[in-house]
Amino acid sequence: MSRIVPITPEMLDEAARLLRRGALVAFPTETVYGLGADATDDRAVARIFEAKDRPRFNPLIVHLTEAGAAKELARFDGRAAALAERFWPGPLTLVLRRSADCPLSPLVSAGLDTVALRVPAHDGARSLLRMAGVPVAAPSANRAGQLSPTRATHVQEALANRVALILDGGPCPVGVESTVVDLSSTRPTLLRPGGLPLEDIEAALDEPVALAGTTPDAPKSPGMVGSHYAPSIPLRMEAREARPGEALLGFGPDAAGATLNLSPSGDLVEAAANLFHHLHILDQGDYSGIAVMAIPERGLGRAINDRLRRAAAA
């Protein structure tokens, strides 16, 4: 079983070191417990999806110590500044466009050009973020499809030995997830109701907030078609070789002639970590299409194939 430890300076130091080494650490926030990883480390982020058994790559929330850090990662406009000033630290997540030289793994954005940022209010979370010194990607620390955990024991029951350390901060005071507001397009849009009431957000913005999917220009929530990253050229799966003009995206040791290989050793965590990097590179190359070799339908392979299937159908 994973170790549950109290939040002491020694344990925070150990947790921060684990995060910097690419391990997963569960920690309390004011909303729910998060399953954290260094958001700049592709493999660490891939391990989050593996631990949660997520059948697909949903974009993750990146946790920061202060609003100043958000300005380097994303385009932080006047609306973002107004909401951050009023509600951070607190249970509000802002979806913003990634900055041009954003150092975050593309996997935290599931390949999209936006990123969800939040500054949590919990003292334990804030100390951990400060000591880790890196932005921390953290979905709720449950298995896919299960309830969000509000106590350290919930995390242990859900994730057993899939997390290096569980910091115990007692029950989460808010108990529901953060409110997610998308500011990446013309109209502010509510993607997920949560711990911060919509009315408070509208009052601070002094404009109405649209509900996801209800207006033509409102961004769709990530579960909906159209909001997934797909390359601009055709993609086909289960390829054995490239046809003329195509790039071949390989997997495993038997990939002679591959333009790029997601994992020469056949490691699915490595493949997930490379997926969006490689697709972006091939999409920008001079190819007529992308042929992807077969990826096994197990572990992270299911999420990789889900994303490839959507791209192939686009």
Say whether residue 40 binds ligand TXA (CB under 6 A): no
Say whether residue 292 binds ligand TXA (CB under 6 A): no
Q: Which is nearer to ligand TXA, 125 or 248 (CB)?
A: 125
How near is the Cβ of 19 to ligand TXA at its closest, in Å?
14
At a CB cut-off of 8 Å and minimum separation 6, what does 29 contact?
63, 120, 121, 122, 125, 138, 172
Q: Which is nearer to ligand TXA, 138 or 210 (CB)?
A: 138
Whose CB is nearest to Mg ion? Answer: 140
- Which helix (H) or strand (E) segment holds residue 289: the answer is strand 289-292
CB 259 within 8 A of CB 248: yes
Amino acid at 55: P
* Full strand arrangement of the beta sheet holding 25-27: 3-6, 165-168, 25-27, 34-38, 136-137, 61-63, 114-118, 92-97, 179-182, 189-192, 210-211
Say whether residue 185 binds ligand TXA (CB under 6 A): no
Q: Exactly one of 7, 51, 116, 272 binds ligand TXA (CB under 6 A); which one?
A: 116
185 binds, among ligand TXA, Mg ion, none (CB under 5 to 8 A by kind): none
Q: Which is nearer to ligand TXA, 120 or 252 (CB)?
A: 120
Stretch 249-278 residues interacting with ligand TXA (CB under 6 A): none
Q: Write down the residue that tokens 């070799």 correspond to.
A: 293
Binding string, residues 210-249; x marks residues near ligand TXA by CB under 6 A: ------------x---------------------------
Give the number of other Cβ atoms within 10 Å of residue 96's Cβ.
22
Say whether residue 191 binds ligand TXA (CB under 6 A): yes
- Which helix (H) or strand (E) segment holds residue 248: the answer is strand 246-250
Say whether residue 150 binds ligand TXA (CB under 6 A): no
Say whether residue 178 binds ligand TXA (CB under 6 A): yes
Q: Exactly one of 138, 164, 235, 271 binds ligand TXA (CB under 6 A); which one?
A: 138
CB 70 within 8 A of CB 84: yes
Tell me phi and psi for residue 3, to 5 degrees: -75, 130
258 binds, among ligand TXA, Mg ion, none (CB under 5 to 8 A by kind): none
Distance CA 108, CA 62 (A): 8
Distance CA 201, CA 14 (A): 37
Say whether residue 137 binds ligand TXA (CB under 6 A): no
Q: Which is nearer to ligand TXA, 94 or 239 (CB)?
A: 94
Q: Which is nearer to Mg ion, 34 or 250 (CB)?
A: 34
Distance CA 12, CA 281 (A): 38
**Per-residue tokens: 222:** 């990530």
Stretch that binds ligand TXA, among 24-32, 77-85, 254-262, 277-285 (CB under 6 A): 24-32
Helices (H), 149-288: 152-159, 198-205, 268-284
Say whether residue 32 binds ligand TXA (CB under 6 A): yes
Say whether residue 140 binds Mg ion (CB under 5 A): yes
Say whether residue 93 binds Mg ion (CB under 5 A): no
Q: Write down the residue that tokens 């953060």 correspond to.
A: 178
Residues binding Mg ion (CB under 5 A)? 140
Residues binding ligand TXA (CB under 6 A)? 29, 31-32, 34, 58-61, 93, 95, 109, 112, 114-116, 118, 138-140, 177-178, 180, 191-192, 222
